[in-house]
Structure 1
Amino acid sequence: MPMPMPMPASLRSVLAALAAGLAAATCLTAAGPAVAGPAPAQPRGGACSPAVSVQRFSDALDKTTYEGTVVGNFSALAVDRDGAIAALSDRSALFTLDPTTLRPRSVVPLADESGAALDSEGLVVDRDGSRLVSSETEPSVRRYGRDGTLLGRLPVPDALRVAPAGRATANQTFEALTLLPGGRTLLAGMEGALAGDTPGLVRLQTWQRDSHRDFRLGHQYGYRTDSGLGLVEAAAVPDGRLLVLERGFTAGVGNTVRLYLADLRHATDTSRVEALTGQDGVRLVRKTLLADLADCPSLGATAKQPQPNPLLDNIEGMAVTGATGTSGATRGALRVLLVSDDNQGATQTTRFYSLRVRL
Structure 2
Amino acid sequence: MARSRRTTIKIAAALAVLSAGLTVPTAAEASDPVRLTRFIGEQRLPHLMRFKGTVVGGLSGIDRDPRTGTWVFVSDDRWRYDPARFYTATLDIDLEKGTFDGVRLTGVTTMTRADGTPYPAYGQPYSADPETIRFDPWSTGLLWGDEGDRPDATHPDIPVSSSAVRIMGADGRVLSELPVPSNLELTSADVGPRRNQGFEGLAVAERTIAAVTEGPRYEDGPPPTLERGAPARLTTWSRTGRLRGQYVYPLDALPAAPNPPTGLAETGVSELLAVDDFRYLALERAWMEGVGYRVKLYEVDLRGATNVLNRPSLGSTYRAVRKRLVHVFGRPTQNLEGLAWGPRLDNGECTLVIGSDDNFAADEVTQFLAFAATGCNL
Q: Letter of the 2:131 partner, please give it.
A: E
- Determine if the alignment matches structure 1 residue 70 to structure 2 residue 73: no
Alignment of 1:187-336 (within 5 A): 187-198=210-221, 199=223, 200-210=230-240, 215-228=241-254, 229-238=267-276, 240-277=278-315, 279-280=316-317, 282-294=318-330, 309-310=331-332, 312-324=333-345, 333-336=349-352
Residues 2 and 240, structure 1, Cα contact 8 Å, conserved in 2: no
Alignment of 1:1-359 (within 5 A): 1=22, 51-80=36-65, 81-91=67-77, 92-100=84-92, 101-113=102-114, 115-117=118-120, 118-127=128-137, 128-137=139-148, 138-164=162-188, 167-180=192-205, 182=206, 184-198=207-221, 199=223, 200-210=230-240, 215-228=241-254, 229-238=267-276, 240-277=278-315, 279-280=316-317, 282-294=318-330, 309-310=331-332, 312-324=333-345, 333-359=349-375
Change (3 A) 1:319 1:120: same
TM-score, reference length from structure 1: 0.75
Residues 163 and 186, structure 2, Cα contact 8 Å, conserved in 1: yes
Unaligned 5+ runs, structure 2 = 1-21, 26-33, 78-83, 93-101, 121-127, 149-161, 224-229, 255-266
Greater Cα offset, 232-241 or 141-150 = 232-241
User: For residues 203 and 340 of structure 1, what CA distance do their matches in structure 2 show?
Assistant: 23
Match of 1:343, SS? coil
Matched residues, number: 287
Change (3 A) 1:243 1:344: same
Residues 62 and 351, structure 1, Cα contact 8 Å, conserved in 2: no
Change (3 A) 1:264 1:50: closer
Residues 213 and 232, structure 2, Cα contact 8 Å, conserved in 1: yes
TM-score, reference length from structure 2: 0.71
User: For residues 165 and 282 of structure 2, what CA distance do their matches in structure 1 show?
Assistant: 19
Unaligned 5+ runs, structure 1 = 5-48, 295-308
Displacement of 1:51 in angstroms is 4.2
> Runs of 4 or more off by more than 6 Å in structure 1?
none
Change (3 A) 1:355 1:187: same
Match of 1:159, SS? helix
Displacement of 1:102 in angstroms is 1.9
User: For residues 107 and 346 of structure 2, what CA distance do their matches in structure 1 show?
Assistant: 31
Q: Letter of the 1:284 partner, please give it.
A: A
Deviation string 1:205-250 (CA, Å, 9 cap, x unpaired) is 111123xxxx121111111011132011010124741111000111
Displacement of 1:273 in angstroms is 2.1
Q: Letter of the 2:202 partner, please give it.
A: L
Residues 208 and 277, structure 2, Cα contact 8 Å, conserved in 1: no
Residues 113 and 173, structure 2, Cα contact 8 Å, conserved in 1: no
Displacement of 1:52 in angstroms is 4.8
User: For residues 23 and 103 of structure 2, what CA distance do their matches in structure 1 show?
Assistant: 32
